[in-house]
Chains A and B, each alone.
Chain A
Amino acid sequence: MNVFRLLYNSFIWGILISILAFQSEWLEMRVNIGVFIPIVIVLCLIVGTLLKKLGKGHLLHLNLTATIINVIACAIISLVVLGMERIQVVPASIVREGMKVTNISFDSINIILLLILIVGLILCFFGRDGIKIKNIFRRTKGKALCILIIVCLYLLVPPIKSNVNQAISVLKTVDVNAAREYILSFGIWAPVVSFLLMILQSVVAPLPAFIITFANAGLFGWVKGAILSWSSAMAGAALCYYIAKLLGRNVVQKLTSRTALEKVDEFFEKYGKYAVLIARLLPFISFDIVSYAAGLTSMNFWSFFVATGIGQLPATIVYSYIGGMLTGTVKTFVIGLLMLFAVSTLIVLLKKMWNDKQKAKEIA
């Protein structure tokens, strides 16, 4: 059973069921109809999982033909129930109320819904019945298509463009209070926005991460702020790693000699996690550059991920706990401590390299 296809189809069913529920004025006046969408998705996932465990996954086998028929049928039913005028308002109002985002226009939400429908249907072509996604992105055309989709989403969907621009301008000011006010302005979505901001600053390398870490500590308390900052930085690091791996590895192979790349690959395969750990501990080494660099090598993802998780933990905790008080002697002390951790790791790394070299000599 293709999980993505199940998610996509259950999203379509969720929209349809919420439209049908909306027809009851009694229900519409009393309930946030938008919650029907995630409820239907979760229920479908549960049913799908249970059916698969019982060996009856074929009952929910949603192949490409079934998905297309589902999309068309739900669209026709929605049109019949709502009519041309109301269909431009009702689904968007359901989504808007469900997500509690009152400052987005119906037109923008309709564009986003349409994009989800179209792009989701295109992605349903991939998977077990068809082409694998990772094979598409191995080719240059696939990479160009990926970049084109992202650029089009940015340029053609006004809420995405305005929100990304606003986020970048807030981070560029390097003002913790401005970042706090910006994150807080999203109400209950503040933690999600903070998470996305951290990912944005990872991808757009020059933007500073510590602003977001300080802001999180101020808004959510140092413990929850640290958890949020740490987890969102991990997501950002993983994204940068894969961006470099999917888009850059071939370029690196063409730009360097085969021997040099083999040596670098060999180093990172054996000692990459130590190198990443040291780089994470040192506050003056760019977090994002390290993530991109690791993706360009043949370093294993899990080694990179674990080293990143451990390496960024001390700085995240310190930044969250001390926050804006990190100045003067306190700052010097903290940097000294982090450098001590880094040097200790370097010593462990050098010892391991020495031992490996001795073993190789003995075998020879």
Chain B
Amino acid sequence: MKKLLSILTMLVLVIAVSVGCSSKQQNTATDKSDNNTKKNADVLVVNKDKKEIKMFAEVNGKYFTESTRHGVVFKDGSNGEKSVLRGLANQIDFYDALISIGAKPGNNIKMTDMDKGVKVQGSKLNVFVTWEGLGKEIPFNDIISSSDPRPMNIRFGGNLENAKAKNTGCILCLDSCAVGITSNASYETGASKTVKFYGKKDVLPKDGTKVTVIFRLAE
């Protein structure tokens, strides 16, 4: 028992160290901004000529059987595990990328509008998904099933301040949203309380597969 206590004491010590170490690590990570910029360039590719942004993401197989209102969320956001696709680029860089290709944010939804049935405004985006071996791009609409199917209408909602404040990581929401950088204007705010969205298991590759999400500014 005493020997077990000694090992447990050491484990507690390590946990205590790790609590402190995590904050040090965050500082270390913040200091290495050059590295972060480089790494982000690997997961977010902007083509200003084509007015297109490619973002790498991973399939989250949980939402083949469970419903969600999140299409794409940055993995390190608080909602990182709550979306059909786990985005590898963060929402702030994604916002900046959309601005750089000439998209205009709607910024028409406040937090108080989230249960008032408001539809998101902003530049229209055509969104596609592809992955290795598929050989083509398929519309984002085709990877999501809904209990109330409607054609997808993705808009650049903006919401930069809310996105920074909440840090949910939301990149593409499946109904209109005051936090997501882009969201689906086909469904008004609060629609997800009654409408269920799922990832299509027969269309998407298996859980964990890397995919590319392509956002193109619609003419």
Contact = CB atoms under 8 A, between A and B. Distances in A.
Contacts of A305: 6
Interface string B65-92: 1111100000100010110001000000
Contacts of A25: 66-67
B22 A188 contact: yes
B7 interface: yes
B199 to A, nearest CB: 12
Contact of A192 (B14, B61, B68, B75): B14
Nearest to A93: B62
Contacts of A105: 207-208
A206 to B, nearest CB: 24
Interface string A97-132: 100001101100000000000000000000000000
Given A25-B67, A106-B207, A219-B25, A227 B13 contact: yes
A32 B81 CA distance: 9
B28 A106 contact: no
Interface residues of A, number: 34
B135 interface: no
Interface in A61-113: 85-86, 89-90, 93, 96-97, 102-103, 105-106
A190 interface: yes
A-side interface mostly: helix
B20 to A, nearest CB: 6
A90 B62 CA distance: 7
A89 B65 contact: yes
A341 interface: no
A192 B18 contact: yes
B215 to A, nearest CB: 23
A231 B17 contact: yes
B86 A301 contact: no
A262 interface: no
Interface in B22-68: 22, 24-25, 28, 58, 61-62, 64-68
A228 B66 contact: no
Contacts of B62: 89-90, 93
A235 interface: yes
Nearest to A241: B3
Contacts of A231: 10, 13-14, 17
B21 interface: yes
A283 interface: no
B82 A29 contact: yes
A52 B201 CA distance: 50
A200 interface: no
A228 B22 contact: no
B208 A103 contact: yes
A201 to B, nearest CB: 16
Given A25-B67, A190-B21, A190-B25, A238 B208 contact: no
Interface of A: 25, 28-29, 32, 85-86, 89-90, 93, 96-97, 102-103, 105-106, 184, 188, 190-192, 195, 219-221, 224, 227-228, 231-232, 234-235, 238, 301, 305
20 contacts: A29-B82, A89-B65, A90-B65, A90-B66, A93-B66, A96-B81, A102-B208, A105-B207, A190-B21, A191-B17, A191-B18, A191-B22, A220-B21, A221-B24, A224-B20, A227-B13, A227-B17, A228-B14, A231-B17, A232-B10
Task: Please list the 9 inter-chain residue pairs (A to B) with the smallest Cβ-Cβ separation, ordered nearest first.
Answer: A191-B18, A93-B62, A220-B21, A97-B81, A231-B10, A191-B21, A86-B65, A231-B13, A195-B14
